[in-house]
Every structure is written in C-alpha cells, then in structure tokens.
Amino acid sequence: MTIVKGIFGILHFLLKLAILPVVLILTIFNFMFSFAGRVICMLTGLLGGFFIIGGIISLVMDPHNITFVWQSILIGMIIGGVPVFLKEFGSAILNSITGFLADI
C-alpha cells in the first residue's frame, strides 16, 4: 500500500511540475490582460463620459430633443460599461483557471 502511495506521490509531483509552466504563462497573460484592460477601460470611460455629458448638455440647450438625450446617455453608458464588464469577466475566468491548475 505504501508503494502505491509513493508512486501516486511521484506522479502527483510530476503533474505539478508539468503544469507549472502553464500556470506561469496564464499568470503573466492575466497581468498583461489586466493592464491592457485598464487602459482600454480608461479610454472608453472617457469616451462614454463625453457622450453622457453631450446628452445632458443637449437637454439644457436648444433644441430640446429628448430622444437624442436618452440615446446619447445610453450609448455613453454602453461604451463606458461594456469594456469594464469584459475586463472583469475575463480576469475572473483567468484567475479561476490559474487557481484550479495551481491547486492540483
């Protein structure tokens, strides 16, 4: 019985050793994805903010077109919000995969 446990221990160690480069590459990829995601989220947040500010300003200025106001505010929210969701969702998936592989 101890021989079987010893063999399984060695196989477990070899599996961890084989998975280590994959975990390292996924971790580096996650850091790169997070950095690029933050930059893209900042830029799209500014662009979405311009749409929202434009919608609010067009509400105050002449002519009062409520349809344009709501459309520009919704477009600004979508432009600013969707990249943040995608970044967080992608980071969560990569962290889950990396954590799962590290726990083996």
Quickly count helices (H) and strands (E) in the chain: 2, 0
For the cut 80, the answer to whether the pLDDT of residue 69 exceeds it is yes
Give the pLDDT score at 84.
96
Give the pLDDT score at 25.
95
Compute the average pLDDT of residues 81-96.
95
pLDDT digits (tens, 9 = 90+) for 5-60: 999 999 999 999 999 999 999 999 999 999 999 999 999 999 999 999 999 999 88
- The 10 Å Cβ neighbour count of residue 69 is 17
Four-CA torsion 22, 23, 27, 29, nearest 10 degrees? 20
Distances in Å between the Cα of 7 and the Cα atoms of 25, 77, 79 are: 28, 57, 55
